[in-house]
Amino acid sequence: MTAQSDICNFQHRPIAVFDSGVGGISVLKHIHALLPNEQLLYVADSKYAPYGNKTAAEIQARCFEIADFLIEKNAKALVVACNTATAAAIDVLREKYTLPIIGMEPAVKPAAEASKNGIIGVLATIGTLKSAQFAGLLESYGRNVKVVTQACVGLVECIERGELNADATKALIKHYCAPLLAEGADTIVLGCTHYPFVRQLIEQVVGSQVALIDTGAAVAKHLKQQLQAHNLLSNNQQSAAVQFWTNSEIENAAQVIELMWGAKANISMLSPDVALTS
């Protein structure tokens, strides 16, 4: 086999994306929109969601298991589409595996730059807000603004059940946004990949004067740059397939994934490897 064909083989391999559940599909959509010719694999680790209240060691163990599964499926790059898992595990993942690994963090920097009154709010999980990575973010980009943080316990579970418009979901959002509004935040960071799926509800609660910022588009752009830098961008001319795996134990797991993805999807159970849809 020639060196050139080796490169081609690498380029045609899929990009793998995972999250504690369906939240990372908000990032996957940006990746698919920017790189429609790339084959994508997505794992929703819903059985173990939420990651937000797990220890770093527990999250790292989940990340290793999922990364092994996706690398076995021939992934050429790995996207950790989860702020909580990135904070807990990105360093150990990069130590263990050699493929490019892209993580994500709450958009404190862009929010600090966009805020007009210098008060920003951050909605995220407990795990993200308590992490050393987040402390570092505040240290680097939060010095000249007031940053009001709020852990949204229970919100990921509502989204995992597909309850995007339920009264209970809206009540939780009201409860969690109230302290940010009381402090006068004019910009709110959606610091968990599940939250873009309730963006409309959040908008209704905080009003149109408050800007909402999430990182999905930036992650997709960064992934593209990394693939380019490693000579891994596919030159496939056709729109490529997206394959989902879940270990969710809820009855309507496939419908929830399709609700988030916005279309019919190929979904299998993570273990055993059984198709949920065809």
Asked whether the CA dihedral 262, 85, 212, 253 is positive or negative, the reply is: positive
Catalytic residue among 63, 152, 158, 192: 192
Q: Does 83 bind ligand DGL (CB under 6 A)?
A: yes
Return the sign of the alpha-carbon dihedral for residues 245, 40, 195, 208.
Answer: negative
Active site residue 63: no
Report which of 264, 248, 221 is spatially closest to residue 23, judged by C-alpha positions: 248
Judged by beta carbon, residue 28 or residue 177, the one nearer ligand DGL is 28
Strands of 266-269's sheet in order across: 101-102, 77-80, 15-19, 40-44, 242-246, 266-269
The single residue of 63, 82, 158, 177 carrying the catalytic annotation is: 82
The H-or-E segment that residue 121 falls in is strand 119-124
Burial of residue 98 (CB within 10 Å: 0-12, 13-18, 19+) is exposed
Of the listed pieces 81-89, 142-150, 172-180, 243-251, which binds ligand DGL according to CB under 6 A? 81-89
Q: Which of 14, 18, 30, 50 binds ligand DGL (CB under 6 A)?
A: 50
- Cα torsion 210, 195, 125, 167: sign: positive
Pick from 39, 84, 115, 187 the residue near ligand DGL by CB under 6 A: 84
**Region binding ligand DGL by CB under 6 A among candidate stretches 1-9, 31-39, 188-196, 198-206:** 188-196
**Closest to ligand DGL by CB, 234 or 248:** 248
Residue 8 annotated to the active site: no
Question: Looking at 14, 23, 103, 142, which residue binds ligand DGL (CB under 6 A)?
Answer: 23
Q: Is 125 in the site for ligand DGL (CB under 6 A)?
A: yes
Nearest to 106 by CA among 137, 152, 140, 81: 137
Q: Which is nearer to ligand DGL, 115 or 193 (CB)?
A: 193
Query: What token pair was written down for 88?
Result: 């807990």
Quick one: which of 46, 60, 128, 169 contacts ligand DGL (CB under 6 A)? 128
Q: What is the binding site for ligand DGL (CB under 6 A)?
A: 19-21, 23, 49-52, 82-84, 125, 128, 156, 192-194
Catalytic positions, written as ranges: 82, 192
